[in-house]
Amino acid sequence: MDSPGADYAYVVGIDFGTTFSGCCYGYTKESNLDDYQDITSWPRQRIVAYPKTPTVSLYKKDTRDIKSWGDAAKSQSDKPNMQDHYLEKFKLYLDEESAKTMTPLPNGLTPVQVIADYLRSIHAYICETMNRGFAQNYEQNQYRYCLTVPATWSDQAKAVMREASIQAGLVERNDPIERLTLISEPEAAALYCQKTCDQFKMTAGQRFMICDAGGGTVDLIVFEIEDNLQGSAHHSLREVTKGSGDTCGSVFLDRNMEQLIRDRFAHFGRVKPRSMDSMLNSFIEHIKPHFFEEPDQEHYINIPFSLGYPNNEDPDYGIYDGAMSFTFEELRDKVFEPVIQKILGLIQHQLDSSAMKPVDAIFMVGGFGMSTYLQHRVRETFVPRVRFVSTPPRPEMAVVRGAVYFGMNPRLVTQRVSRRTYGLSSQMIFDPANDPPSHQINVNGSWYCRERFSVYVNKGTAVGVDECVTKKFVVTYPHSTETDLFAFDDDGPTPRLVTDPRVKVVARFPIQMPAFPDLRYGDQVPMTIHMYFGLIEIKIEVWMRDQRFTFTSRLDLADSAPPSVGPAVPAKPSPTLSTATSLPPYSSPVLSHTKPPAPPSYGFNKPDAIDPTSPRPGYMLVAKPDQQMATPSLAPAPIPLNSSSPNLAGYASVPPQNGHSLTATSSKHSYSSSQILPQHPPPPTTQSSLPALYPPVNYNNGDKHQVSIDSKKKIGYSTRLFNKFKKL
């Protein structure tokens, strides 16, 4: 588990929102969790009463350089003939469905860079603000950060958020993992509500729902209150439903309003962007926050002069004295209800998921959660099934304050419900009735199915934060390896194969071999992996001998680098093929993933420390060089070795085509071979074959050898005998 927040002087909570972002920080040396400070004053603040700053950025024209952020960017974007790039709602690029309809970012910018630039800017101001107080007595490395993320975000989106935070300079790449924690927005809000809503006198065993309605997303989870933490006055919480949500936040009211305005002016022609922005701002600032406070009241939006509308009075189109008139019913039915109905459906789903035990309360938080009309519709629909619907004090700050509570004590949440089905790729006994013949391989005389989806935790399973799944492997010293984690997100039957298009690689764990001075090259090292699925980010602990290394998920982002986890052995490169295999009693060995060789030519040095008199198992991989192989299943082949003519013929699980040629060269020899060797023993239904990787060749000490692969065929070959192909 994460170390307690008291290991750091301050916990800094950052709520990176779709439309607004906020910050709160607390001093960890105080036992009172109420000792926190909201940052309520922001540069060039336009809405003084609102304690957050806009999540917007302005980039210089034709560059990737951020010019301003927050209210300053908003003000500069209002200038006439503005040529810079104004970016808003870029958090939605991390939501797979929303990203499909988003305008591509300009100048080759990526979501990681845009988010990192914004976080870097807001973080600089946060540090400046904190340094005006007692925090100036502490170095920044004594700050712990807790960032909030939507409950529905994918593992990839959370990994992007962590990477952006590192690039922004909140933490260093080699910092302890717990220095930057992520928490789901409704979970953070639950911690805040459970602490501040004492007037409802909720006790252990009772359940409440959080409806976190923000600018872009609405997230919901049901929690149950548990007994006080040992040695603490605070109750802990556990999730009892799988968090759900949708992109139906308040920005979608803005979109509906924009369409309503366009429909009103359809007879006039195209509405200029600047004119539309002016009218939408009027809706956002004056109508949206107060809708339903006075039912049946008509609402008005001034028509900007820049629109060029010819008439100040046009009753046929609801225009009076230069302003558009909208009835309560019109706004309700065309702007609010399409979004509200989605939220009511989400709440209904959560109540149904908790049907075994009643939900006593619904707490509305977030900026949109302050909406009088939304609160009215939730009460109207769900009371008395739910005893009460309420908002805590300062609901717009509930998420970021809860993030500070969590950063101070990560054990306040004891259980979470898995959002997806997770597992690894594995070899399992071949089932002719259910497994495809193309995945059948022979391993030591037995038939296996490669790339089976070996499930570790199922979607909807309640997992304690301290619970882990343990697997044991062996890895050959000094090779590093890498494990891919797969996920299935649907509610139907789990696919049998990781190659099913519905199964995705969601995390990658690079495992770097530490230096063990007492081991020789080629020695087998036991390795135990503990996977924790009850945390916001999936975490693994790797034990090799008496050393432990901890990882969170890492994606192959083009601009990211793997974390450093300990001293590596510089003289020996890592293998092209992973050498990790399962230890008994597992009958289905798991081979971890590494990328197959991509270039058409490779080089290597003569291996050392290999006994030339004893046969050793070898593994052969056949793959397209530009294809990323996920946990390839490899059939073992005995490789007889002698000092003069090692025969490197092997067997592949994927049969190649006849005619694939390879050329082997050294400083003294050149060989070419398209020889086809039969696989032995042959499968019962198919005859597979593989070109010999090398003809017999004499190796002289110090020789450099090269394999040239027919690039037109795009077939790559590698062998475990030579432990690393070095890119030429």
Does residue 685 have a pLDDT over 80? no
Among 671, 675, 660, 664, which residue's Cα sits nearest to residue 707?
A: 664
> What local confidence, expressed as pLDDT, does residue 594 receive?
29
Give pLDDT tens digits for 96-115.
Answer: 888 888 889 999 999 999 99
> What local confidence, expressed as pLDDT, does residue 662 receive?
34
> What local confidence, expressed as pLDDT, does residue 87 receive?
95
Give pLDDT tens digits for 476-533.
Answer: 898 887 778 899 999 889 999 999 999 999 887 778 888 899 999 989 889 888 888 8
Do residues 319 and 309 make contact, with C-beta atoms less than 8 angstroms apart? yes
**Range with the poorest average pLDDT among 2-6, 29-33, 128-132, 262-266:** 2-6
Give 638 or 86, the one with higher predicted confidence. 86
Mean pLDDT rounded to a whole number for the chain: 75
Among 214, 268, 275, which residue's Cα sits nearest to residue 245?
A: 214
Does residue 329 have a pLDDT over 80? yes
Do residues 616 and 409 make contact, with C-beta atoms less than 8 angstroms apart? no
Cα(191)–Cα(406) distance, integer angstroms: 8
Give pLDDT tens digits for 182-220.
Answer: 999 999 999 999 888 766 777 888 999 999 999 989 999
Do residues 501 and 490 make contact, with C-beta atoms less than 8 angstroms apart? no
Give yes or no for a cis peptide into 104 (omega within 30° of 0).
no
Give 31 or 509, the one with higher predicted confidence. 509
> What local confidence, expressed as pLDDT, does residue 506 receive?
85
Does residue 464 have a pLDDT over 70? yes
Of the pLDDT bands very low, low, confident and very high (cuts 50, 70, 90), residue 303 is confident
Does residue 449 have a pLDDT over 60? yes
> What local confidence, expressed as pLDDT, does residue 177 receive?
85
> What local confidence, expressed as pLDDT, does residue 682 receive?
32
Provide the CB-side half-sphere exposure for 641 (13 A, CA): 18
> What local confidence, expressed as pLDDT, does residue 355 receive?
75
Of the pLDDT bands very low, low, confident and very high (cuts 50, 70, 90), residue 547 is confident
> What local confidence, expressed as pLDDT, does residue 82 receive?
84
> What local confidence, expressed as pLDDT, does residue 30 receive?
67
Topology given in CATH for the domain delimited by 202-391: Nucleotidyltransferase; domain 5 (3.30.420)
Does residue 560 have a pLDDT over 70? no
Length of the chain, in residues: 728
> What local confidence, expressed as pLDDT, does residue 48 receive?
75
> What local confidence, expressed as pLDDT, does residue 665 receive?
33
> What local confidence, expressed as pLDDT, does residue 231 receive?
53
> What local confidence, expressed as pLDDT, does residue 146 receive?
97
Of the pLDDT bands very low, low, confident and very high (cuts 50, 70, 90), residue 135 is confident
Angle between helices 185-196 and 398-408 (to 10 degrees): 90
Give pLDDT tens digits for 407-418.
Answer: 998 888 999 999
Does residue 261 have a pLDDT over 80? yes
Do residues 379 and 372 make contact, with C-beta atoms less than 8 angstroms apart? no
> What local confidence, expressed as pLDDT, does residue 574 receive?
26
> What local confidence, expressed as pLDDT, does residue 230 receive?
58
Specify the 3-state DSSP secondary structure of 516. Answer: coil
> What local confidence, expressed as pLDDT, does residue 232 receive?
57
Q: What percent of the chain has pLDDT over 70?
A: 73
Do residues 601 and 708 make contact, with C-beta atoms less than 8 angstroms apart? yes
Does residue 269 have a pLDDT over 80? no
Architecture of domain 5-195: 2-Layer Sandwich (3.30)
Give 221 or 411, the one with higher predicted confidence. 221
Does residue 717 have a pLDDT over 50? no
Does residue 55 have a pLDDT over 90? yes
**Range with the poorest average pLDDT among 29-43, 129-143, 357-371, 640-654:** 640-654
> What local confidence, expressed as pLDDT, does residue 32 receive?
60
> What local confidence, expressed as pLDDT, does residue 313 receive?
83
Of the pLDDT bands very low, low, confident and very high (cuts 50, 70, 90), residue 443 is confident
CB neighbourhood size of 464 (10 A): 13
Does residue 636 have a pLDDT over 60? no
Does residue 328 have a pLDDT over 60? yes
Give 240 or 356, the one with higher predicted confidence. 240
Question: Which residues belong to CATH 3.30.420.40 in the chain?
Answer: 5-195, 202-391
Cα(347)–Cα(221) distance, integer angstroms: 9
Among 297, 322, 377, 389, which residue's Cα sits nearest to residue 344?
A: 377
Do residues 508 and 553 make contact, with C-beta atoms less than 8 angstroms apart? yes
Give 368 or 616, the one with higher predicted confidence. 368
pLDDT, mean of residues 56-73: 94
